[in-house]
Amino acid sequence: MKAKNVLITGATSGIGKATAKEFAKKGHNLIICGRRKTKLSDIAKKLETKYYVEVEKLSFDVSNLSEVEQALKKIKDKKIDVLINNAGLAKGFDPIHSGKISDWETMIDTNLKGLLYMTRNISPLMVKAKNGHIINVASTAGKEVYPNGNVYCATKHGVDALTKAMRIDLHKYGIRVGQVAPGHVESTEFAKVRFDGDTEKAKIYEDFTPTNSKDIAKIIYFMISQPKHVNIQDILVMGTQQANSNFISRSGRL
């Protein structure tokens, strides 16, 4: 595959960081995004030194439209071939009658509005170029629901709908839109963020082996590396010990 310019949101940790590494390894240039500047700098330095690719860093909050617009102005002369809408989070794990409204707003603003702000700003350039590939990082939580998952599941069901809707609107311009929908993924900060830094509660992978961020990065690379006439629309992936959101064989790690 010819070297591409790949923009990844949420590249400071977990799936986004692993995806940045996977693309750098294969010689692609990156625009890595996230709020944490130091992490972006450390990652950029490592990837540039090890893989000799160009890595641009953009530090902004995806849920803040003016920050998104300001950040993207800095790369207005760059052609973006691939947009990976990965930034997202679960916040809280409470039933609907006692969930924190501020957590709900954070999830809706990040997982839905953030993805929309990025797409609205980048897709017109892809339409003009009649070329581009967008991957949304969805979730099993966008396919089914589970106790206390309420608003997070609603946002990921929204991502699932948006992936389909974006594809309908963009396929006529030669733009591919697809999504990966993973179950539990370790080597991420996902559980730590969901449980607000409570490391005990965040120990949710000790009695089974889920997929890890590198597994998902390889799947995203596989989706992007198909020939131009092939668009992988949706990949639902879980660890072998996970049947769905509610059935996990917690029988020990593999």
Size of the site for ligand NDP (CB under 6 A): 31
237: helix, strand or coil = strand
Task: Kindly tell me which of 129 and 193 has the beta carbon lying closer to ligand NDP.
Answer: 193
- Within 13 Å and on the Cβ side, how many CA atoms surround 152? 24
10 lies in the binding site for ligand NDP (CB under 6 A): yes
Size of the site for ligand 8X3 (CB under 6 A): 7
Residue in 19, 29, 86, 245 binding ligand NDP, rule: CB under 6 A: 86
155 lies in the binding site for ligand 8X3 (CB under 6 A): no
Q: Is the CB of residue 85 less than 8 Å from the CB of residue 122? A: no
Task: Kindly tell me which of 99 and 132 has the beta carbon lying closer to ligand 8X3.
Answer: 99
Question: Look-up: residue for tokens 């017109």?
Answer: 124
188 lies in the binding site for ligand 8X3 (CB under 6 A): no
117 lies in the binding site for ligand NDP (CB under 6 A): no
Catalytic site residue from 51, 117, 146, 152: 152
Q: Which helix (H) or strand (E) holds 15?
A: helix 14-25
Task: Kindly tell me which of 53 and 185 has the beta carbon lying closer to ligand NDP.
Answer: 185
Contact region with ligand 8X3 (CB under 6 A), list: 26-34, 119-127, 138-146, 163-171: 138-146
- Partner whose binding site includes residue 92, from ligand NDP, ligand 8X3, none (CB under 5 to 8 Å by kind): none
Q: What number of other Cβ atoms are within 10 A of residue 201's Cβ?
A: 13
CA angle 67, 185, 219 (to 5 degrees): 80
> Which distant-in-sequence residues (6+ apart) come within 8 Å of 68 by Cβ?
60, 62, 114, 117, 118, 121
Query: Would you state the structure tokens that stand for residue 149, as one six-digit string?
Result: 């998952």
| Known active-site residue 152 | yes
Shortest CA distance to 82 belongs to which of 225, 216, 188, 181? 225
State the Cα–Cα distance between residues 6 and 133, nearest whole angstrom.
9
17 lies in the binding site for ligand 8X3 (CB under 6 A): no
- Within 13 Å and on the Cβ side, how many CA atoms surround 99? 21
Q: CB 3 → ligand 8X3: shortest distance, Å? A: 31
Residue in 33, 136, 245, 248 binding ligand 8X3, rule: CB under 6 A: 245
Contact region with ligand 8X3 (CB under 6 A), list: 3-11, 32-40, 98-106, 134-142: 134-142
φ/ψ (deg, to 5) at 212: -125, 170
CA angle 140, 142, 148 (to 5 degrees): 85
Task: Kindly tell me which of 141 and 166 has the beta carbon lying closer to ligand 8X3.
Answer: 141
Query: Would you state the structure tokens that stand for residue 187, as one six-digit string?
Result: 């080597």
Binding site for ligand NDP (CB under 6 A): 9-16, 34-36, 39, 61-63, 86-89, 110, 114, 137, 139, 182, 184-185, 188-190, 193, 213
Mind telling me the catalytic residues? 152
Binding site for ligand 8X3 (CB under 6 A): 139-141, 149, 183-184, 245
